[in-house]
Structure 1
């Protein structure tokens, strides 16, 4: 299977509701799709979401990065995946989402060549998972309404977006917690919205109400490593690092400092599947569990995340792969069956992409 062409397209889909965090508001999905064609007619699909406020990438920069890498890859055999991945990661720095979209497509092709679902090629066996669902930041009444709607759909874990107003954040969490049955788990995500001292004060206020969230995700700026350590030493609520971890090197520093409780793996940050697998292995070596998350992504990249979760199910124990559930329509089918909070892997070869829309 020799690579004969690499091209890109755009995947667009409306959201059921605006996606609102302390960093951004998104009203519709617009992702980049990578299509890699081989001389035997095989096609691999990858996907990435431009997220300028997190990865620094736009749709234009992602396309430019892929076009830069493309001539070095054309003509190579997909069986020599290690060489291909070395080129992708060494020809250009950063551009993690563009690299991830390429990697997903390469792994899709490699699994197709082996006539296996990707998760099986990666050594995974688990096929059933549960994900949380994101409750966008907003007025308290709206957040309560959205939380109750999610529970009625079968979700038992909600990720609550906060971080724009410290006092209001406390009231949001208290109100949502009071409105729900006590068996509903809350995950809090401040998206870098607080300082370290604010984080400790706010979490103490929440904990005094006997509310211990499953974790607080990235309360401080991505580069505030000491802030994460400061928080962890002073609160009961477990601390999960997201934007502070793009690479295995980033994670190793935090884990050696004992500055966090959990690691959030996102393919768009790790530059794809290969380093996501390494990050999971590193976390396991430190005895730290992982969550696998996503940006506001479509079915192809979310499917890749589920396959990685299966491959590393012993350490990736939490899923935040709800992006497809936030879409008002599903323009692409994959090997993943989404039944609200339940995610099921089928036995389709590769990522099992079946186009509903045309690329």
Structure 2
């Protein structure tokens, strides 16, 4: 399977509702699709979402990165997999989402070359998973309404976006908690919106009312490593790191400091599947569970995340792969079933997507 061409396409799809966090607002999906073609007609698909406020990448920079890497890949055979991966990561620094899109396409091809679903090629056995759903930040009544709608659709785990106003955040969480049955799990995501001191004060206020979320995700700035440890040492609510972890090196530092409880793996941050698997393995060494999340991507990238979750199901115990459910329409054909909170992998070889 000799690689003969790499081309790109832009994937666009409207969202059911605006996606609002303390960092950004998104009204429609606009992702880069990478299509890797081989001499025998085989095609691999990858995808990445430009997220300037998190990865620093725009659509233009992602396209430029792919164009830069292309000459180092075209002409190689998929059997030279390790060489191809090395070329992706050694020819340009950073650009993690662009690299991830390329890696996903190549893993799709690699699995097709051995005629297996990707999850099986990676050693996975689990096929059915449950994800949470994101409740965008907004006015309290709207967030309550969105939460109740999600529960009615079958979700039992809600990820609540907060972080623009500490006092209002407390009011939001209490109101949503009080509106839901006790069997509904809340995850909190402040998207770097608080200081370490604010985080402790807010979480103590919630804990005094017996509101202890499954975790608080990235409450402080990505580079505030000491802030994460400060929080963890003072609250009961488990602490999950997201934007603070792009690489295995980042995670090792936090884990050695005992600054976090959980690790959030995102392919767009880890530059693809390879380091995502390594990050799960590292977390297992420290006895720390992981969540796998997404960057508001479409079905191709989300599918890749589910395959990774299957490969490391013993350590990736939480899924935040709701992006497909947030779309008003599904712009990609897939044999993977996205049924609201339930995602089921298929036995089709590769990713199971048909762009």
TM interval, shorter chain, is: over 0.9
Per the alignment, residue 122 of structure 2 pairs with 122
Partner of 2:289: 289
Residues 131 and 341, structure 1, Cα contact 8 Å, conserved in 2: yes
Equivalence map 1:179-328=2 (5 Å): 179-328=179-328
Superposed CA deviations along residues 153-181 of structure 1, whole A, max 9, x for unmatched, are 00000000000000000000000000000
Q: CA deviation at 1:135?
A: 0.1
Distance 2:205 2:213 in 1: 12
Is the 1:217–1:241 contact (alpha carbons within 8 Å) kept by the matching residues of 2? yes
Which deviates more from structure 2 when the two are superposed, residues 1-10 or residues 331-340? 331-340
Q: Provide the C-alpha distance between the structure 2 equivalents of 1:130 and 1:46, rounded to a whole number of angstroms.
A: 23
Aligned twin of 2:154 = 154
Deviations 1:117-144 (A, max 9, x none): 0000000000010000000000000000
Q: Residue 339 of structure 1 corresponds to which residue in structure 2?
A: 339
SS of 1:192's equivalent? coil
* Aligned Cα root-mean-square deviation (Å): 0.4
**1:299-352 C-alpha deviation (Å, 9 max, x unpaired):** 000000000000000000000000000000001022420111011011011012
Q: SS of the residue aligned with 1:29?
A: strand
* Alignment of 1:144 onto 2:154: no
* Deviation, structure 1 residue 66: 0.4
| Over 6 Å off, 4+ runs | none
Q: Report how many aligned residue pairs link the two structures.
A: 355
* TM-score, L = length of structure 1: 0.98
Mapped partners of 1:129, 1:181: distance in 2: 22
User: In 1, Cα distance between the equivalents of 2:97 and 2:177?
Assistant: 35
Q: Deviations over 1:273-315 (max 9, x none)?
A: 0000000000000000000000010000000000000000000
> Any idea what SS the aligned residue of 1:308 has?
helix
The C-alpha deviation readout for 1:58-86, integer Å capped at 9, x for no partner, is 00000000000001111000011111000
> 1:24-103 residue pairs with structure 2 within 5 A?
24-103=24-103
What SS does structure 2 have at the residue aligned with 1:80? helix
* TM-score in terms of structure 2 length: 1.00
Cα distance, 1:204 vs structure 2: 0.4
Alpha-carbon separation, structure 2, partners of 1:244 and 1:331: 31
Deviates more, 1:236-245 or 1:329-338: 329-338
* Matching residue of 2:178: 178
Gaps of at least 5 residues in structure 1 are: none
